[in-house]
Amino acid sequence: MKELSLVVTVSDYLDSRSFHTVTELPFLQRRIDIVGYEPIKGALIAVEAKVKNWQSAFRQAVTCLLFADEVYIAMPTEYIHRVDKSELARFGIGLLEVNSSVHVVSKAISSRYISENHRKIVINRVQWLEMLQLKGQYNASQ
């Protein structure tokens, strides 16, 4: 399974749960794989997807704690056993197992590290990029 397949499957999963998703969202000289925004509740979810290297996903996910209510790492079923779940739990980061569907292995805990300024920036970017996507003027893969 390629990372793009993970991203598409998780984005579809979040979309089906009323989240508006944007992929490859620019944030602090990085790109967040998936950001989901639920406008009625004002909830933000961030997901870092990796095929094999959970440590890399973890390092990227820690940055997302600055703006997201819940942060997850997504990995394919065949590599999920490599993840140190206790390390994720220390930071409140959840784990998603992905094959043809998404299974929540461990639920994320609300971030204690949210910066309201970073949060506002991300929400504005999600809304802006979503509008551009609807107009066909934004493609995350560009």
Asked if the structure places residue 34 within a domain, the reply is yes
Tell me: the pLDDT tens digits for 22-70? 999 888 888 999 999 998 999 999 999 999 999 999 999 999 999 999 9
Instruction: Answer whether residue 142 is part of any domain.
Output: no
Q: Which residue has the higher pLDDT, 92 or 26?
A: 92
Is residue 49 assigned to a domain? Answer: yes
Query: What's the pLDDT score for residue 30?
Result: 86
Q: How confident is the model at residue 137 (pLDDT cuts 50, 70, 90)?
A: low
Structural domain includes residue 18: yes
- Type of residue found at 109: I
Confidence band, pLDDT 50/70/90 cuts, at residue 142: very low
Phi-psi region of 29 (alpha: psi -120 to 50; beta: other; left: phi over 0): left
Which of the four pLDDT bands, split at 50, 70 and 90, describes residue 139? Answer: low
Q: What are phi and psi of 85, to 5 degrees?
A: -65, -30
Q: What is the CATH number of the domain that holds 107?
A: 3.40.1350
Q: How far apart are the first and last CA of the chain?
A: 21
Residue 139 counted as domain residue: no
Domain count for the chain, please give it. Answer: 1
**Which residue, among 39, 18, 7, 37, has the nearest Cα to 126 in the 3D structure?**
37
**Which domain range does residue 98 map to?**
3-134
**Within-domain flag for 25:** yes
Domain contains 140? no
Amino acid 134: pLDDT: 64
Query: Would 141 be classed as within a structural domain?
Result: no
